[in-house]
């Protein structure tokens, strides 16, 4: 059935993503990745998968992209942006996390060259090589003390809470 000329296939949906600002003193965990034949830098970040909470996705992706197990501490912010890479709208939930353990033997996600720790100045110096303006924005918000309690993000998904 078509309503107002639109079928259910024409429904617009943004991409929901998660990211983590993982700080160790003055350094931040970053991912160097291949994006359409170029090298780009991002926080550990990716799309939300079906049947997982935002918190679960953030912890999972950080592990898969860096080999680091992290514990989420806060929500830093929710950001909306139209990607210059593919033109779609991204709604990004950025969490703060503390590093717990690292497995250097863990294979990293396809496209990820390596995980590395950089200072804010080193990240800013990457300029156009940052995957999006949300990378530096998230670090600056974290540095400015923007930290919302994790309880602000609720999930009714099974196992939705992550501590």
What ranges do the domains of the chain cover? 13-114
Cα–Cα distance, 84 to 87 (Å, whole number): 5
Bridge partners (DSSP) of residue 32 are 41, 114
The pLDDT of residue 2 is 37
Cα–Cα distance, 75 to 136 (Å, whole number): 16
Q: 144 or 47, which is more confident?
A: 144
The pLDDT of residue 13 is 81
Lowest mean pLDDT: which of 12-26, 77-91, 142-156? Answer: 77-91
Half-sphere exposure of residue 145: CA atoms within 13 angstroms, side-chain side: 0
Q: What is the pLDDT of residues 94-128, one digit of tens each?
A: 999 999 999 999 999 999 999 999 999 999 999 99
Q: Print the SS3 string covering 87-125.
A: CCEEEEEEEEEEEEEECCCCCCCCCEEEEEEEEHHHHHH
The pLDDT of residue 8 is 52
The pLDDT of residue 5 is 43
Is this structure's pTM higher than 0.75? yes
Q: What is the pLDDT of residues 4-57, one digit of tens each?
A: 444 456 787 878 999 999 999 999 999 999 988 899 999 999 888 988 999 999
Across 6-163, where does the E strand assignment appear?
Answer: 15-24, 27-35, 38-42, 45-47, 68-82, 89-102, 112-119
Report DSSP state, residue 16. Answer: E
The pLDDT of residue 12 is 79
As a CATH number, domain 13-114 is 3.90.79.10
């Amino acid at each position: 059935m078509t309503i107002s000329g639109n079928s259910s296939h024409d429904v617009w949906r943004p991409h929901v993503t998660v990211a983590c600002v993982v700080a160790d003193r003055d350094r931040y965990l970053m991912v160097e990745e291949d994006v359409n034949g170029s090298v780009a830098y991002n926080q550990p970040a990716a799309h939300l998968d079906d049947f997982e909470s935002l918190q679960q996705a953030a912890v999972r992706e950080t592990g898969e992209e860096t080999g680091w197990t992290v514990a989420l501490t806060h929500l830093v912010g929710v950001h909306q942006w139209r990607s210059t890479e593919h033109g779609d709208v991204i709604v990004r939930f950025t969490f703060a996390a503390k590093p717990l353990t690292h497995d250097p033997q863990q294979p990293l996600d396809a496209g990820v060259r390596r995980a590395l720790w950089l200072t804010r100045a080193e990240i800013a110096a990457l300029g156009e090589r940052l995957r999006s303006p949300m990378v530096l924005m998230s670090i600056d918000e974290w540095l400015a003390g923007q930290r919302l309690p994790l309880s602000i993000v609720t999930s009714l998904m099974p196992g939705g809470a992550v501590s």
